[in-house]
Amino acid sequence: MSYMKNFMMEVQEFVWDFFDQDGQFVADETIKDKDDLISVVENNYGSMGAKVAKEEIFAIETGDHFS
C-alpha cells in the first residue's frame, strides 16, 4: 500500500476510535468534542491529517459509512 493510503487509514482509524457503531461521537478524558479531536489530529498528523479527519467526521455524521 502507498504511504498516502496508509497515512489516511491511520488518521481514519484514529477518528473512528471516538465514534460508536451508530456514528455518535464519544468523548474521553482528553478529547471532549470534535474540535478537540481535530486539534489532536492536527498536532499528531499535521494539516493534511486534520483535513482527512474533517472529511472522515463529515462522512460519519452524514451516514456515508452506514448506507
pLDDT at 18: 97
Q: Where are the beta strands (DSSP E) in 1-67?
A: none
Q: What pTM does this model have?
A: 0.88
pLDDT at 66: 53
The model's pLDDT over 28-66, given as tens digits with 9 standing for 90+, comes to 999 999 999 999 999 999 999 999 999 999 999 888 655
CA distance 49 to 29: 22
